[in-house]
Chain A
Amino acid sequence: MIGASAAYAVQPDEIMSDPVKEARARVLSRELRCMVCQNQSIDDSEAPLARDLRLLVRERIAAGDSDAQVLDFLVARYGEFVLLKPRFEPATLLLWLLSPLALAGGGLALWAYNRRRSKSAASEDPALFELTAEEEARLQRLIGTEPSPNNPA
């Protein structure tokens, strides 16, 4: 089967005859960890255990299991450790929610900060840009004593 989608450590003899089922097996393989390797999916690994798991996945698919059933079967057998993408459950709540929360929290903090700063800047404005009586007088004096060269009156 030339031109198929990515497959890595899959051996020629493992490939299922039904291309649809084989494609499902590949997708599932990429989500399952080879438990004796360091951070490799069973799709990438050349370890014998990975091969056993690949064959097991194909066996379950051939037996008519859905993708979820295959994963449940493997989790029941090997524990949550086998899943490279942990399920969303109480123990992994923080893992899944940190990134959206950080984004939302950061955005909110920025919005609040921007509001506060522009408000405080606005409240400072009159004091900053209006001249005091003393400055006004000095300005008048300067204008009065120094005739502008552009304006030969």
Chain B
Amino acid sequence: MIAEAGHYALVLALGLALIQSTVPILGARWRDPALMNVARSTALAQLLFVAGSFAALVTLHVTSDFSVVNVFENSHSMKPLIYKITGVWGNHEGSMLLWVTILALFGGLVAAFGNNLPLSLRAHVLAVQAWIAATFYLFILLTSNPFLRIAVPPIEGRDLNPVLQDIGLAVHPPMLYLGYVGFSISFSFAVAALIEGRIDAAWARWVRPWTLLAWIFLTLGIAMGSYWAYYELGWGGWWFWDPVENASLMPWLAGTALLHSAVVMEKRNSLKVWTILLSILTFSLSLLGTFLVRSGVLTSVHAFATDPTRGVFILLILCIFIGGSLTLYVWRASALKQGGLFAPISREGALVLNNLLLTTACATVFIGTLYPLALEVLTGDKISVGAPFFNLTFAPLFVPLMVAVPFGPLLAWKRGDLLGAAQRLTAAGAAALIAVAVLWAWTRGGSALAPLAIGLAVFVIAGALSDLAERTGLFRLPLTTALRRARGLPRASWGSVFAHAGVGVALMGIVCETTWNTEYIGTMKPDDVAKVAGYALKLDGVSQRQGPNYREMVAQFTVSEGGTRLSTMTPSKRSFTTRSTTTTEAALLTRGVSQLYISLGDTAADGSIAVRIYHKPMVLLIWFGPVLMAFGGMLSLSDRRLRVGAPKPARATQGLQPAE
């Protein structure tokens, strides 16, 4: 009954989406406010029905209704409740349902909070939103229906893939999808602007918070996924340049570029056409990511060929939306008026450089991810493009980007003073040089690149702080004045300081972890001691334990440093009987921002066990960086100027400020 209700709700949502995708457009054409307002009610109703459908699937999973194929294949009655819930999106059908639920959520948010949007713009935006939704409802209903029944219900389910039975699954996919799908809003705004042939600073002011929101979620989603891989996969890697990761990195790179170009458009009414294109590209890359992950094309081109229905369907959606929006762009973009002029050395110029480097980086990831597929389809040759390729091609793009980051906020709009900015960055530059010198002396004979990279990271962080000091007059003015000015500083300025500092922090973590990672690989018997990076780890013993749906072998280590006992660590290996697979549960001990990491290997006949122990210096900075970036994004999002939304006509005169 619940399954049928969920299925029916989804069909109704499709019907609503079809209404929402046509009626408001006609309303806008005929200038009929009643028809245009249909968009609002259908968007809200659609959200209601999709949420109902999603709730139905969650209920089926929680109650372990194995008469539903999706539950049977991905659940188990003994599975802990949290994994019964998260298991809903731990499979293809459920994750697609989550995808459309979030899409409907964003549509509903625009409908609910878009009251100060021009009526026709809102109608167009929601209609475009509904086109996307309708195709994905069709996709789910025709190829990936999660509500299908089994004629003879089995007693027990096949359980969820053990690697996914982790709290990471509760957070990572929803975050990632909030990011991916969130970019659909800027896409819809871009397409709506092209249809209307009108775009102004108010448009940018509306698009920017949505882009920012999506970007925050995507940033956190990627970081969370990376940390999950780090502790779950058991070899301590945190980024693998895997096609699935690249699929999320591409929209992030394009979205970051979009965020910056939208600033130029809002403040200076410039780069309009480019911002529209980026909005389209960012969401197109999100769609591409969905295609890559969901079609099975990555596992192998042949896997895709044997069951092509899903893949071909998404490919079709991909072609329609990317092709359609780009055609519309080519056709209509010339109608959009160009904005203000600026000199190459200016805030705008710096943001253009940011965009150039980020989009090139995005193109690099794109070609690296798709080239092997294309080559195999075209010539049949199989090649691999992996981490060594990306590391080699990415660094030359990111180094100039990092160098430029501190300069950008210090340059004035329209025409900047590079020398002046450089003078104001003297302290940051000095801090970077000191860092390089100290590290060089300290790590004598080690990698020459690592101290330089750390210096660059210090420069980025110190540069962000210099920007803050510059704006508040710290060190120049009395402390009380500086504090007052700091309070008065727009939250968006604080946001960019935090976000830029976050980039430096992440870079520092990445360099430290890859350069000064130490490790111990060996077989240990009880009472053996391993020494890693000044820590002594004694294996106390190995015991067996029964979990809810697995058995685990737990090893207990006592960690001490310089003779003092610090803590115990208990890495384990879990065997899941239903799927007859094992997972390694690494044990982590955090010391400051560094971590000790133990993962277990196989046991030998004599009772000794293979262990890998790593000391990863500053490793947590890799994820603190993105968290700082997201925090900066949230600060920026809370800026009053963004919440106000589109400016009222009376305030438009503020645009006529004298040039600096």
- Which A residues fall within an 8 A CB radius of B? 2-12, 15, 30-31, 33, 38-41, 44, 79-86, 91-92, 94-95, 98-99, 102-103, 106-107, 110, 114, 117-118, 121
Min Cβ gap A67→B in Å is 13
CB-CB < 8 A to B364: which residues of A? 98-99, 102
CB-CB < 8 A to B344: which residues of A? 114
Min Cβ gap A25→B in Å is 14
B504 at the interface (CB under 8 A from A): no
CB-CB < 8 A to B237: which residues of A? 8, 44
Binds A, one of B128-136, B210-218, B384-392: B384-392
**In the bound complex, do residue B392 and residue A85 qualify as a contact, i.e. CB atoms below 8 Å apart?**
yes
Q: Find A84's partner among B352, B359, B385, B397 (CB 8 Å cutoff).
A: B385
**In the bound complex, do residue A95 and residue B299 qualify as a contact, i.e. CB atoms below 8 Å apart?**
no
CB-CB < 8 A to A121: which residues of B? 341
Min Cβ gap A41→B in Å is 7
**Residue-by-residue, is B237-268 near A (CB-CB < 8 Å gives 1, otherwise 0)?**
10011110000000000000000000000000
Q: 6 extra interchain contacts, Cβ-Cβ under 8 A, other than A39-B242, A91-B383?
A: A30-B388, A38-B298, A39-B386, A86-B389, A92-B371, A102-B364
**In the bound complex, do residue B610 and residue A107 qualify as a contact, i.e. CB atoms below 8 Å apart?**
no
Residue of B nearest to A35 (CB): B384
Tell me the bound Cα distance from A7 to B612 in angstroms: 10
**In the bound complex, do residue A10 and residue B521 qualify as a contact, i.e. CB atoms below 8 Å apart?**
yes
**In the bound complex, do residue B356 and residue A110 qualify as a contact, i.e. CB atoms below 8 Å apart?**
yes
CB-CB < 8 A to B514: which residues of A? 6
Query: Can you report 18 residue pairs joining A to B where beta carbons are below 8 Å apart?
Result: A2-B518, A7-B519, A12-B522, A30-B387, A38-B298, A39-B240, A80-B381, A80-B384, A84-B385, A85-B385, A85-B389, A86-B389, A91-B383, A98-B367, A99-B364, A103-B357, A110-B352, A114-B344
Tell me the bound Cα distance from A4 to B397 in angstroms: 30
CB-CB < 8 A to B356: which residues of A? 103, 106-107, 110
**In the bound complex, do residue B352 and residue A99 qualify as a contact, i.e. CB atoms below 8 Å apart?**
no
Residue of A nearest to B367 (CB): A98
Q: Find A95's partner among B241, B352, B385 (CB 8 Å cutoff).
A: B385
**In the bound complex, do residue B367 and residue A99 qualify as a contact, i.e. CB atoms below 8 Å apart?**
yes
**In the bound complex, do residue B367 and residue A92 qualify as a contact, i.e. CB atoms below 8 Å apart?**
no
Residue of B nearest to A14 (CB): B521
- Which B residues fall within an 8 A CB radius of A? 235-237, 240-243, 298-299, 338, 341, 344, 352, 356-357, 359-361, 363-364, 367-368, 371, 375, 379, 381-389, 392-393, 397, 514, 517-523, 530-533, 610, 612
**In the bound complex, do residue B384 and residue A83 qualify as a contact, i.e. CB atoms below 8 Å apart?**
yes
Min Cβ gap A94→B in Å is 7
Q: Find A33's partner among B359, B375, B386 (CB 8 Å cutoff).
A: B386
**In the bound complex, do residue B521 and residue A7 qualify as a contact, i.e. CB atoms below 8 Å apart?**
yes
**In the bound complex, do residue A83 and residue B521 qualify as a contact, i.e. CB atoms below 8 Å apart?**
no
Min Cβ gap A52→B in Å is 17
- Closest 7 interchain pairs by CB? A84-B386, A85-B388, A99-B364, A81-B382, A8-B235, A95-B371, A33-B384
Residue of A nearest to B299 (CB): A38
CB-CB < 8 A to B357: which residues of A? 103
**In the bound complex, do residue B384 and residue A103 qualify as a contact, i.e. CB atoms below 8 Å apart?**
no
Min Cβ gap A44→B in Å is 6
